[in-house]
Amino acid sequence: MNKASQLRKLIDAPGIIALPGAHDVLSAMLYEQAGFDACFTTGFGLSATTLGVPDYGLLTQTEALDSVRRIVDAVSIPVVADMDTGYGNPLNVIRTVQENVRAGAAGIILEDQMWPKKCGHMAGKSVVPADEHVQKIRAAVHARGGSGLVIIARTDARATHGLDEAIRRGRAYADAGADVIFIEAPETIEELRTVTSSIDAPLFANMIEGGRTPFLSAPELEEIGFKIAVYPLSGLFAAAKVIRRTADRLKGTGTTLGTDMLSFDEFYEVIGVPRFRELEAEFAVRTP
C-alpha cells in the first residue's frame, strides 16, 4: 500500500486525523516517533526555516519540493505537501502534482490565492477567480493519474469575499474532484459549524495559535464535523522559544546548564545513531 492509499484509509476511517506541521526533516521524524499516523509540510514553517522570511510567496517550487523529498524519505508515515497555489497556471499545477507523486507525497494542498500568496491568517490576501482554481483542481486530478494522491483544495475567500463565497468555492472545488476541502480562516465557532453543515466532503481545519480562527482541540473539531485538524506551527513556535531561551541563557551566563533539552544519548536515538553503528560494524574493513 503506497502512502496515498494509507492516507485515504485514514480519511475513510472513523474519527478525526490530527496532523502536526513539519518545518524540516527533524520535526517530521519527531512527529513519527511520537506516534502520529501522518504529518504535513507547513509552507509558513519551510519559508521560515529555509529562508528566514515570512510566508509571502518567497519560497520557490524547487525549494518546497526539495524539502518535501527529504521529509518523505526520512519518515514512513504519509506526508501531505503544502504546495501553495501550484506555482502558476494549470500546466504548472500538472508539473507540481507529478513531482509530488514522484517524491512519494501522500497528498497536496492547493490554494486559490493570487500569487504572491501570503499566510492564510495574514492580512492583505487576494484570490483568483473561482473558475481559475476549478481548472487547477481539474488539472491536479488529471496529473495524479492512478497514484491516488489526495488533493486538498483550499480557499482563502473568507477574508476577501465572505463566508458564503468561500463555501460556494469549496463546493465547486469538490465538484472539480478535490478529495478534501479547506476553508481557510473562519473567524468564529459558528462559522466553523456553518462550514461543516454546508459542504458534503471531508473538511480540513487549520489551527494556528494566535490566528484568526478559534483555537480548538482535535476532539472539539471532530464534534463540529471536521475530518482533518492541522496544527502547522505549534512545533516551530515551541522550538523557536526553546532556542531563544537557550541562546539568552548562554549569552547572559556563559553556560547552557539548567536549560531543558534532550540529552546527548536521547538525541542519538532520535536521529538513529544505533542503526548507523550497526551498519558501520557490518561493513567495516577487516584487517588480518
Q: CATH no. for residue 66?
A: 3.20.20.60
Write down the pLDDT at residue 1. 77
Band of pLDDT at residue 92, cut at 50, 70 and 90 = very high
Question: Would you say how long the chain is, in residues?
Answer: 288
Query: Would 35 be classed as within a structural domain?
Result: yes
Band of pLDDT at residue 34, cut at 50, 70 and 90 = very high
Write down the pLDDT at residue 179. 98
pLDDT at residue 288 above 80? no
Query: Would 84 be classed as within a structural domain?
Result: yes
Cβ contact 18:218 at 8 Å? yes
pLDDT at residue 120 above 90? no
How far is 169 from 191, CA to CA, in rounded Å? 15
pLDDT at residue 239 above 80? yes
pLDDT at residue 48 above 90? yes
The mean pLDDT of 100-111, rounded to a whole number, is 98
pLDDT at residue 165 above 80? yes
How far is 261 from 269, CA to CA, in rounded Å? 14
Region of residue 253 (phi > 0: left; psi between -120 and 50: alpha; otherwise: beta): alpha
- Cell (9 digits) for 172: 465547486
Query: Would 271 be classed as within a structural domain?
Result: no
pLDDT at residue 170 above 80? yes
The mean pLDDT of 37-50, rounded to a whole number, is 96
Write down the pLDDT at residue 174. 98
Query: Would 246 be classed as within a structural domain?
Result: no
Domain total of the chain: 1
Cβ contact 207:231 at 8 Å? yes
Write down the pLDDT at residue 123. 87
Owning domain of residue 105: 3-240
Please give the mean pLDDT across all residues of the chain.
96
Burial of 273 (0-12, 13-18, 19+ CB in 10 A): middle
- Annotate 122-178 with DSSP letters as a single string: SSS--B--HHHHHHHHHHHHHHHTTS--EEEEEE-HHHHH-HHHHHHHHHHHHHTT-
Q: What percent of the chain has pLDDT over 90?
A: 94
How far is 19 from 247, CA to CA, in rounded Å? 29
Nearest to 113 by CA among 198, 56, 187: 56
Query: Would 276 be classed as within a structural domain?
Result: no
The mean pLDDT of 241-261, rounded to a whole number, is 95
Query: Would 281 be classed as within a structural domain?
Result: no
